[in-house]
Amino acid sequence: MKRRRPPRGAALLVAMIVLTLVATLAAGMIWQQSRAIGVEAAERARVQAAWILGGAMNLGRVLLRLDARTPGVDHLNELWATPLQEASLSSMLAQDRDNNVVDGAPQAVLSGAITDAQRRYNLRNLVDPATRKIAPAELEALGRLCETASVPPQTAQLLAQGLQAAWRAETDGAKDDDEANGDAPLAPQAVDQLGWLGLDAESVRRLQPYVELLPEPTPLNINTASPEVLAAVIGLDVASAKRLESKRPFKTLQDARGDIPASIPLDPKRLGVGSNYFIIAGVLRMDGRVLEERLLVKRDNRQVLPLARTRQALLPATP
């Protein structure tokens, strides 16, 4: 009998299957390697951006520390109040751009500003820290601000009661009956968290240009506050507040007495010409990414202490 030979097509099919498996495994390995390289590059870019923004925050702290050489007065004509317009990082290093930028390296564009956190009404002033009761004068001031911001008239009372309950629960450990039942709201740490107290998103958006939430009660800096905030806190009409603004800066609180009626007391706990709290903000655009950082600092004599830092990635602007 003749021995049967296996068909040649079977060997060819096996070879094709083996080749397909090898090609698939090789493609998978290449894809994994490419993905790992992409993840590493993205992480490196993120770390670089964070370091650059961190340096910008430290530069802002240095400017505030230098300004502390002349304590007591802070106004918008000082160096710290000059914003940094968008500038290429390489242009900050030297005039000769070719010596600082490697071909193919991502371009970094930085902008930033330091703003006085006491230019806005501090919601911490609503509750007297000694009695833990709502201060009537502060409630009236917030009511005027709410009217300016075109929010519902009951917003001021809602905010005051909510903050009072939240801070009482925070300091007393929820000893009151209502708070013990879990009815006390969570204490907000920033203005954009006022929704925790029952405010709608539109009211929070309208109030943001006029209010701030700092760790302790602070006086309003009349050298940096807007006319709307000046009018609400002092009790002036907007026209009088604008006249007061035009005569800034004031070296002392009494220098503003000529533009404030004698019937209105100049309480240094509510009004001042200097500030201790500032916000340092920076925006970095690098390699198609936009990163924004905001740092709240407290200046205590020559020390500038960081208190709260927020960082977020933004969508790049479309051309």
**pLDDT above 70 for 178:** no
Q: At 224, is the pLDDT very low, low, confident or very high (cuts 50, 70, 90)? A: very high
Instruction: Tell me how far apart the alpha carbons of residues 5 and 43 are, in angstroms, rounded to a whole number.
Output: 59
Instruction: Tell me how far apart the alpha carbons of residues 57 and 275 are, in angstroms, rounded to a whole number.
Output: 18
Distances 64 to 122, 239, 274, 275 between C-alpha atoms, Å: 21, 32, 12, 11
Residue 71: is the preceding peptide bond cis (ω within 30°)? no
pLDDT in tens, 231-269: 999 999 999 999 999 999 999 999 999 889 999 999 999
pLDDT in tens, 100-150: 544 555 677 888 999 999 999 999 999 998 888 999 999 999 999 999 999
Q: What's the mean pLDDT when you consider all of the chain?
A: 84
Q: Token pair of 235, please?
A: 């009790």
**pLDDT above 50 for 174:** no
Segments of the chain assigned to CATH 3.30.1300.30: 41-118+276-314
Q: Give the pLDDT confidence score for residue 8 in this predicted structure.
A: 61
Instruction: Tell me how far apart the alpha carbons of residues 265 and 269 are, in angstroms, rounded to a whole number.
Output: 11
Helices first, then strands: H and E counts in the chain: 8, 9
Q: Give the pLDDT confidence score for residue 9 in this predicted structure.
A: 66
- Helix ranges (H only) for the chain are 8-67, 89-93, 136-148, 155-172, 177-180, 201-207, 227-230, 238-246
pLDDT in tens, 37-54: 777 766 676 677 778 788
Instruction: Tell me how far apart the alpha carbons of residues 21 and 67 are, in angstroms, rounded to a whole number.
Output: 69
The SS3 call for residue 312 is strand
Contact 282, 85 (CB under 8 A): no
Instruction: Please count the CA atoms within 13 angstroms of the CA of 201 that sit on its side-chain side.
Output: 0
Rounded average pLDDT over 193-207 = 93
Fold of 41-118+276-314: Pantoate--beta-alanine Ligase; Chain: A,domain 2 (3.30.1300)
Q: Which amino acid is at 18?
A: V
**pLDDT above 80 for 76:** yes
Contact 137, 111 (CB under 8 A): no
Q: Give the pLDDT confidence score for residue 130 in this predicted structure.
A: 87
Name, in order, each residue with C-beta under 8 angstroms of 37's C-beta and a sequence gap of 6 or more: none
Q: What is the DSSP string of 251-282?
A: SSGGGGGGGS-TTS---TTTEES--SEEEEEE
Q: Give the pLDDT confidence score for residue 39 in this predicted structure.
A: 74
Rounded average pLDDT over 68-80 = 89
Q: Which amino acid is at 83?
A: P
